[in-house]
Amino acid sequence: MNATRQTRLTLTLPSSLIGDFFPILQQGFFVTAHVGCTLQRLLCRQWDISPDYVATRITTIFLNAKATDNVETAVVRDGATIALSGAMPGLVGATMRRGGHLAAMRGAMTYHETPADAVDRIGTVRVKLFNILLPELGPAFLGRGILVSCDDLASFFRERDESFWKSCDGGILDNMQVSAGRLRAEPFCREGTVRLTVNFR
Amino acid sequence: MDRIARINMGAAGGPTVTFEEVGEYAGLGGRALTSLLIAREVHPLCHPLGNENKLVIAPGMLSGTTGSMTGRLSVGCKSPLTGTIKESNAGGQAAQVMARIGYAAVILEGKPEGDDLYKIIINKDGIKIEVDNSLKLMDNYPLVEKLRQEYGDKVAYITIGSGGERQLLAASIACTDPELRPTRHCGRGGVGAVMGSKRVKAIILDDAGMKMRAPKDPEKFRDANRKFVEGLRKHPVTGEGLPAYGTNVLTNVLNEAGGYPTYNFKQGQFAGAAKLSGEAQAELEIKRGGSATHGCHRGCVIQCSGIYNDKDGHYITKQPEYETVWSHGGNCGIDDLDTVARLDFMDDNIGLDTIEMGVTIGVAMDAGLIPFGDREGAIRLLDEVGKGTPLGRVLGCGAEITGKVFGVEKVPVVKGQAMPAYDPRPIQGIGVTYATTTQGADHTAGYAIATNILKVGGDVDPLKTEGQVELSRNLQIATAAIDSTGMCLFIAFAIMDQPETFQALLDMLGAFYGITMTGDDVVALGKKVLSAERDFNARAGFTKAHDRLPRFFYTEPIAPHNQVFSVPDEEMDQLFNW
Ligand code: SF4
């Protein structure tokens, strides 16, 4: 993720439009975070998700594409990808479940913590939210702000339909008011990343 | 459900029907009944499309009652695709209606001379078999429409499309859903070809004048059913995930895990997966006035299905399942849900197994017939199957035959049946099930994840990597048992996590039949079914050499985990030792 040139865009939208952001939230977005800590610390201390919610709702977690059983020992390093999901159906869904009795079915897919250096620093991680966690955790991530590429945001606006534009009355682009018409009509950045913040009312 | 009807399609002078008491099959249903009967009565070396094969159609143990989730219909035969014994099951209304009319099984035997096509009408007054050549080569949707004009909307239909009539090895048997659409298929193993070989185009089930099946202890049954439903509703998978997103909720997770086979099993991740996901599908369905929550039969409380409309709000198909979205989508490099929905409709209409056809098209793409990602090309190929062209007949006989005809080296099949949507290299345990199941590569054969509750084979250390064979064995036993009850397999999530929900299921069975059922009884039933199936396969010539994955899974690693399948043969050979 190129962080050299960062545009900031803030939107305020009705909560009924949260579904429009699901493709971005599933595909993965970047956030700035304090890395070098355990997953549990990142989820609960930095992202303010309650330990109870982590234990009961976030039943499947992938750290760098590997199913993770123990959030208290798995360490998040700079550039990591974290995918969070609710309970999944199917044999494979049950196999991926954290600490489930079918974990042995996974083979190579299980995350094992390594003693490799995990530097305590500010970094960037990629987050993906799936299924029931989309409406439950999505608004908080969007409210804190996520990093998306200019290209991805441009295609996001291109793909919106009339119902979105009817409810969008523009936003604030780099401290300046910007109309919905302009967001719709032209790409407002050509390269780099956008820090997108969405407040739902 | 105290009678068995035998319909001899090959009797001299035209088909005949005989009735018999259920006898030694009393209290059995679904897969237990179909497999035990086939193993006993069908010559294991018979030609699957010849007159010695039988097609057994059986509702589940609790079908036709007021119990929830009890609507699976099993069909059993010797499979023309795999050469093994086969049980294939589907939802829809047929199981409930057949059970209420009073049949534990309807068995199609023999094979008529000549070219006439038959329909069978089953109601409280008996069974009628009529020639109806006006139905010839009709596909399922127009066929059911035509039958509805004659038999109305208060019946259930079991039909085959042109695929079954042409005896294609990927042909399915369709059951109508509550809206009388032929959307629920006994898909796997070419069971539709066996029905086609008997020249039976449609079975019309009419339960007018019949009542719900009555339990021995109605009060206890009602109470157990209430607890069972509560358990399903409160569990996050059966109460939230499946109703909201259906089985396709798995796409994102499998892709993230690197276990989503793509481009004919060449990669474990697909760049377009998010566009095919259950989350995207549900959004689209709701936006277009369809539905993301729908039951395939009355009495389903999970409702994992849905209605998929086009952008103008017109019905295209029922919500395609995860395996279908994968086979026609990611496996073929296609990232467009509308294309997948069209292919799903075509499969249902022609009467074809969606897994087999998606994998077959992937193999055809590998052969260079059309490029990966070619949406219109995939539709064209399936159209060839519907038209019965020579190419269509090859494709309609599945992945293995297509691979042989076009010289493709890597064909993902076991015992001739296409592998479903989970790569066995990163998920080794499922590879064990694919290789060893009695049915050919089949994900549902080891689907009943409730092994811990059933305590099948004792506890397995979850983090021990050598546990794959033991787990697969336990899963296959538990699945055979649930398939025999006629309950939808998706109940497994709630009974795995909630002992009281599992107890409620046992109590339902116990209260219905006036017996006390324990987990041990369920396990014993699962083992009995698997043993009978294994024995049939052994007599049909299958040995442990057939319990293997295709060689490339052992030699070609798949990204991103770069793993090969590595469970030793000797361990797999221990699977059925009990
Ligand atoms: S959960 Fe799904 S497959 Fe099972 S009975 Fe309900 S709709 Fe049919």
How far apart are the CA of A189 and the centre of ligand 1, in A? 47
Average pLDDT over residues B85-95: 97
Q: Which residues of chain A lie closer than 8 angstroms to B460, CB-CB?
A: 101, 104
Of A30-44, A113-127, B68-82, B561-575, the poorest mean pLDDT is in: A113-127
Structure confidence at residue A4 (pLDDT): 54
* Residue B430 pLDDT level (bands cut at 50, 70, 90): confident
How far apart are the CA of B305 and the centre of ligand 1, in A? 7
Does A153 have pLDDT greater than 80? yes
**A122 contact B CB<8A:** no
Structure confidence at residue B493 (pLDDT): 79
- Asked whether B149 and B156 are in contact (CB, 8 A), the reply is no
Does B98 have pLDDT greater than 90? yes
**B280 contact A CB<8A:** yes
Structure confidence at residue B464 (pLDDT): 42
Q: How far is CA B484 from CA B93, B243, B502, B523, B536, in A?
A: 17, 24, 15, 11, 18
Tell me, which fold does domain B247-411 have in CATH? 1.10.569
Rounded distance between C-alpha atoms, residue B501 and residue B506, angstroms = 9
Tokens found for residue A12: 């305020």
Rounded distance between C-alpha atoms, residue A159 and residue B313, angstroms = 19
Does B193 have pLDDT greater than 60? yes
User: 3-state class of B533 per DSSP?
Assistant: helix
For strands A193-200 and A6-13, give the pairing.
parallel
Structure confidence at residue A106 (pLDDT): 64
Q: Which of residues 500-529 of B touch A (CB under 8 A)?
A: none
* Residue B451 pLDDT level (bands cut at 50, 70, 90): very low
Structure confidence at residue A119 (pLDDT): 78
* Residue B182 pLDDT level (bands cut at 50, 70, 90): very high
Q: In chain B, which segments carry CATH 1.10.599.10?
A: 428-572
**A105 contact B CB<8A:** yes
Nearest Cα residue to B321 out of A81, A80, A124, A90: A90
Does B449 have pLDDT greater than 70? no
Q: Which residues of chain B lie closer than 8 angstroms to A88, CB-CB?
A: 237, 241, 249-250, 253
Average pLDDT over residues B179-199: 98
**B258 contact A CB<8A:** yes
User: 3-state class of B372 per DSSP?
Assistant: coil
Of B129-133, B147-151, B447-451, the poorest mean pLDDT is in: B447-451
Structure confidence at residue B575 (pLDDT): 86
Query: For B3-205, CATH number?
Result: 3.60.9.10
Structure confidence at residue A107 (pLDDT): 61
What is the percent of chain A with per-residue pLDDT over 70, rounded to a whole number?
A: 90
Structure confidence at residue A6 (pLDDT): 80
Rounded distance between C-alpha atoms, residue B480 and residue B525, angstroms = 8
* Nearest CB to A131 within list B245, B433, B561: B245
Structure confidence at residue A5 (pLDDT): 63
Contacts of A8 (CB under 8 A, 6+ apart): A172, A173, A174, A175, A194, A195, A197
User: Chain B interface, mutation test: which of A70, A92, A111, A137, most B Cβ atoms within 10 Å?
Assistant: A92
A62, exposed or middle or buried, with CB in 10 Å at 0-12, 13-18, 19+? buried
Q: Which of B238, B296, B319 to mutate to test the pocket of ligand 1 (most atoms within 8 A of CB)?
A: B296
How far apart are the CA of B357 and the centre of ligand 1, in A? 22
Of A68-82, B197-211, B530-544, the poorest mean pLDDT is in: A68-82
* Residue A102 pLDDT level (bands cut at 50, 70, 90): low
**A170 contact B CB<8A:** no
**Residue pLDDT, tens place only, B351-382:** 999 999 999 999 999 999 999 999 999 999 99
What is the phi/psi pair of residue B330, to 5°? -55, -40
* Nearest CB to A104 within list B258, B280, B460: B460
Q: In chain B, which segments carry CATH 1.10.569.10?
A: 247-411
Query: For B428-572, CATH number?
Result: 1.10.599.10
Does B66 have pLDDT greater than 70? yes
- Asked whether B353 and B279 are in contact (CB, 8 A), the reply is no
Cβ distance B462 to A109 less than 8 Å, yes or no, reads no
If one compares B290 and B492, the residue with the highest pLDDT of the two is B290
* Nearest CB to B253 within list A85, A91, A103: A85
Q: In chain B, which segments carry CATH 3.60.9.10?
A: 3-205
Of A128-132, A181-185, B226-230, the poorest mean pLDDT is in: A181-185
What is the percent of chain B with per-residue pLDDT over 70, rounded to a whole number?
A: 96
Cβ distance B257 to A65 less than 8 Å, yes or no, reads yes
* Residue B233 pLDDT level (bands cut at 50, 70, 90): very high
**Residue pLDDT, tens place only, A54-85:** 998 998 899 998 888 889 889 999 999 999 99
**A27 contact B CB<8A:** yes
If one compares A186 and B69, the residue with the highest pLDDT of the two is B69
* Residue B459 pLDDT level (bands cut at 50, 70, 90): very low
* Residue A101 pLDDT level (bands cut at 50, 70, 90): low
Average pLDDT over residues A42-46: 96
Give the residue, by CA position, lying nearest to ligand 1 atom 2. Answer: B304
Does B116 have pLDDT greater than 80? yes
Average pLDDT over residues A115-127: 84
pTM over 0.95: no
**C-beta of B306 in contact with ligand 1 (< 6 A):** no
- Tell me the average pLDDT of chain B: 93
